[in-house]
C-alpha cells in the first residue's frame, strides 16, 4: 500500500491558479513534513523564471538550485518533500523527468546537511503531475535511498486546516565554535571544506546534548502535548545543554595557517504537524534546525567571500583578524497555512524589502515588511574587546584549552539567559595565526 499525502486546501488553490496561468511547462516544489505513514503538504511554490532561459526544455540545474535555496528558508520540521510539474501532456516521459528531478533535488539538499541520516528517517519523496487541461492529478513517490527505486502510487487528498493545530517548539542557544585552517590553505574553497568539517564535529556535540522541553527531561516516546487540549495550537520552549567532548592532547595539537571562530547566539524553532508529537522526534527536529541555521549562515558568508576571492586575500594580508557579522534570522508567515512560518537571513547592509523580495522570488509569498518577525534575533555587533589579536603564534591546543575549561557550565548558564531574552546575535571571525 502506498503512502498518503494530506494536502492543505490552500495548495489546491495555488496549483489551480498555476493551471489557469500556465504557458508551457511549469515546475515547482512541494513543502511540508513527513511522518512514517503519510506526508503533510502545506505549501507549493513554482520555480522562478530564468530570464536567459527561453527554451521549452526543463533546466534541471536551475530547478535543483531553487530547491537548495528554499531548503535553507525552512525551519525545523519542514522540508522539501518533492516536486510537481504542470503540463498539457500525459506522456510517459513526464514520469522519467519527475524521477530525475526528485533525485537531483534530494542529492543537492542532502549535500549541505551536516547530520548523519537515521534509520527512522523517511526516504520517500513525492512527485505530482497535473494535466493543465484536464486537471488530472497523479501522485507518486520514490525511495531516494534506492537508486533503482520504482514509482509507487500515492493518495493525494486535500484537507482544510492541516496546520491549524500544529505544535511549535523553540529555543535559543549560545554558539562558540573554533575551526583550524591548515597551512596549505589556497583559497576560500579550502576554507569552506575545513569549516564544514569543523561544524560537523560541533553538530555531533549538538546531537549528543541534553534536551529539556518546558524545563523537563522527557522519555523518547512521551507525547509532549500529553494532558493538554487537542486540536489547538501548542507552543513549547526547549533548552539544549551542550558539553564539549573530551579529547586527547594528541587529537588537537596541530599547526595551522589560521582559524575560523563562530560566536554568538541563535534562535531555533521547529514545527510538528502530527496530532501526538513524541519527544524523540521533537528533539531530533530541533537539533537539526540548530545545526542547519548555523551552517546556512556560515555558508552564505563564505559564498560571498568566494565571489570576491582576491579582495578578501588583500584584506587578510593586512589584517590578521577579519570579523564578519553573520546574518540574522527573520521569520514570515507562510501564505494561508495558519501559524506556520518560513524564514530568511538578513545581512546588516540589507533592508527588509530585500527579505520580502526573496520570499516572493523563492517561495512565491506576498509578505509585507510589517508581517516579518524580526524580534527573535538582534543584528550582530562586533565589539573590539570581544576578540584580542595575539602577536605571537599559538598552536591550536592552547586556544582549545582556553575555551574548553569553562564551556560546559558556561553554555548551560547562557542558554537560560538567552531563552529569557529571546534575542540573539552571531559573529564569524577569520584569523591568521
E strand or H helix at 267: strand 258-272
Highest mean pLDDT among 84-93, 146-155, 399-408: 146-155
Highest mean pLDDT among 29-43, 314-328, 368-382: 29-43
User: Which residues are within 8 A (CB) of 170 and not within 5 positions of it... i.e. 6 or more apart?
Assistant: 235, 236, 237, 238, 267, 268, 269, 270
Work out the average pLDDT over 361-369: 94
The rounded distance, in Å, linking the Cα atoms of 170 and 192 is: 29
Does the pLDDT of residue 124 top 80, yes or no? Answer: yes
Q: Which residue has the higher pLDDT, 382 or 166?
A: 166
- The ranges assigned to domains in the chain are 4-159, 167-326+380-431
The rounded distance, in Å, linking the Cα atoms of 11 and 8 is: 6
Q: In this predicted structure, what is the pLDDT of residue 408?
A: 31
Work out the average pLDDT over 21-28: 85
How does DSSP classify residue 339? Answer: T
Write out pLDDT tens, residues 83-122: 999 998 888 889 999 999 999 999 999 999 998 889 889 9
The CATH code of domain 4-159 reads 3.40.140.10
pTM summary value: 0.84
Q: In this predicted structure, what is the pLDDT of residue 180?
A: 81
Does the pLDDT of residue 188 top 90, yes or no? Answer: no
Which residues make beta-bridge pairs with 125? 142
Which residues make beta-bridge pairs with 173? 266
Cell 546575535 identifies what position? Answer: 425
Closest CA to 58 of 101, 10, 4: 101
Q: In this predicted structure, what is the pLDDT of residue 195?
A: 86
Report yes or no: 358 and 350 within 8 Å, Cβ to Cβ. Answer: no
Does the pLDDT of residue 345 top 80, yes or no? Answer: yes
Q: Which residue has the higher pLDDT, 248 or 196?
A: 196
Per-residue pLDDT band for 200 (boundaries 50, 70, 90) equals very high
**Cell numbers that stand for 137 in this block:** 492529478
The rounded distance, in Å, linking the Cα atoms of 137 and 131 is: 7
Report yes or no: 43 and 11 within 8 Å, Cβ to Cβ. Answer: yes
Q: In this predicted structure, what is the pLDDT of residue 1?
A: 54
Amino acid at each position: 500500500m502506498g503512502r498518503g499525502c494530506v494536502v492543505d486546501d490552500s495548495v489546491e488553490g495555488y496549483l489551480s491558479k498555476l493551471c489557469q496561468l500556465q504557458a508551457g511547462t511549469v515546475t515547482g516544489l512541494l513543502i511540508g513534513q513527513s511522518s512514517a505513514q503519510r506526508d503533510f503538504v502545506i505549501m507549493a511554490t513554482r520555480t522562478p523564471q530564468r530570464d536567459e532561459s527561453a527554451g521549452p526544455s526543463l533546466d534541471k540545474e536551475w530547478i535543483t538550485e531553487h530547491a537548495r535555496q528554499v531548503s535553507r528558508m525552512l525551519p525545523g520540521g519542514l522540508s522539501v518533500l518533492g516536486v510537481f510539474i504542470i503540463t498539457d501532456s500525459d506522456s510517459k516521459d513526464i514520469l522519467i523527468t519527475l524521477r530525475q528531478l526528485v533525485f537531483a533535488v534530494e542529492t543537492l539538499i542532502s549535500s549541505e546537511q551536516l547530520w548523519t541520516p537515521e534509520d527512522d528517517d523517511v526516504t520517500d519523496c513525492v512527485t505530482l503531475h497535473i494535466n493543465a487541461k484536464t486537471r488530472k492529478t497523479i501522485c507518486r513517490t520514490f525511495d531516494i535511498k534506492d537508486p533503482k527505486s520504482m514509482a509507487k502510487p500515492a493518495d493525494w487528498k486535500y484537507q482544510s486546516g492541516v496546520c491549524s493545530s500544529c505544535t511549535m517548539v523553540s529555543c535559543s542557544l549560545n554558539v562558540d565554535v573554533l575551526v583550524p585552517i591548515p597551512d596549505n590553505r589556497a583559497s576560500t574553497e579550502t576554507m569552506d571544506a575545513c569549516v564544514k568539517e569543523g561544524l560537523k564535529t560541533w553538530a555531533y556535540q549538538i546531537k549528543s546534548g541534553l534536551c529539556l522541553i518546558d524545563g523537563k527531561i522527557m522519555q523518547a516516546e512521551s507525547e509532549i502535548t500529553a494532558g493538554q487540549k487537542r486540536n489547538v495550537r501548542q507552543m513549547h520552549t526547549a533548552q539544549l545543554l551542550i558539553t564539549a567532548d573530551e579529547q586527547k592532547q594528541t587529537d588537537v595539537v596541530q599547526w595551522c595557517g589560521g582559524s575560523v571562530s563562530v560566536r554568538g547566539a541563535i534562535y531555533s524553532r521547529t514545527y510538528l504537524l502530527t496530532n501526538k508529537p513524541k519527544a524523540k522526534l521533537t528533539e531530533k527536529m530541533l537539533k537539526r534546525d540548530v545545526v542547519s541555521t548555523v551552517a546556512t549562515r556560515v555558508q552564505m558568508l563564505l559564498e560571498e567571500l568566494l565571489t570576491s576571492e582576491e579582495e578578501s586575500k588583500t584584506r587578510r594580508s593586512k589584517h590578521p583578524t577579519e570579523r564578519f557579522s553573520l546574518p540574522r534570522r527573520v521569520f514570515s508567515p507562510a501564505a494561508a497555512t495558519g501559524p506556520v512560518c518560513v524564514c530568511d537571513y538578513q545581512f546588516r547592509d540589507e533592508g527588509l524589502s530585500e527579505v520580502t523580495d526573496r520570499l516572493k522570488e523563492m517561495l512565491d509569498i506576498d509578505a509585507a515588511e510589517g508581517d516579518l518577525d524580526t524580534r527573535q534575533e538582534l543584528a550582530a555587533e562586533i565589539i573590539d574587546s570581544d576578540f584580542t589579536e595575539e602577536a605571537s603564534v599559538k598552536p591550536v591546543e592552547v586556544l582549545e584549552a582556553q575555551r574548553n575549561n569553562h564551556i560546559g557550565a558556561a553554555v548551560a548558564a547562557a542558554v537560560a539567559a538567552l531563552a529569557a531574552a529571546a534575542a540573539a546575535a552571531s559573529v564569524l571571525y577569520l584569523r591568521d595565526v
